[in-house]
Structure 1
């Protein structure tokens, strides 16, 4: 019984660790953007739609120019 529980815990830990992103652009997106609205899929809007929406969102989120650049790289490419 102890072994079964150990294997289940190892399986769950292994699955969750693969879902955690280390991409600093994605981390920034999750941290800064989820405070105001749900996180949108990058493919949910066209490049033109993102480009029209992002400046206002960046201003509302009080992002630095470097953060804006990272989010542009993440969302537009």
Structure 2
């Protein structure tokens, strides 16, 4: 029971961190969170994010627009 409560609070805390006005951030949370943890934007330089997204785009079937918006969010 305690695990469930912790999970629910953790999940709702994550939801509150999403800026719904930022399409790239919203896509990042929606598309990338299903397969792995969400990385902090500062973990990689913008050039590295572009390289990572080039690979992940193919794996996750992102559109070109989705990829651009996510890269813009991660590299800002």
Asked whether the two chains share a fold, i.e. TM above 0.5, the reply is: yes
After superposition, the Cα gap between the structure-2 partners of 1:64 and 1:18, relative to the gap in structure 1 and judged at 3 Å, is closer
- 1:37 equivalent to 2:36? Answer yes
Determine if the alignment matches structure 1 residue 21 to structure 2 residue 3: no
Give the TM-score normalised by structure 2: 0.69
Count of aligned pairs: 62
Distance in 1, Cα, partners of 2:53 & 2:68: 11
TM-score by length of 1: 0.68
Structure 1 pair 64/47, CA: closer, same or farther in 2 (3 Å)?
A: same
Choose 1 or 2 for highest CA Rg.
1
Distance in 1 (alpha carbons) for counterparts of 2:16 and 2:33: 21
Match of 1:13 in 2: none
Name which of structure 1's ranges 16-25 and 62-71 shifts more when overlaid on structure 2.
16-25
RMSD across aligned positions (CA): 1.9
Show CA shifts across 1:33-56 (max 9, x none): 011110000001112221221111
Unaligned 5+ segments in structure 2 are: 1-12
CA change 1:62–1:44 in 2 (3 A) is same
CA 19–51 in structure 1, closer or farther in 2 if over 3 Å, else same: closer
Q: What are the ranges of 5 or more consecutive residues in structure 1 without an aligned counterpart?
A: 1-15
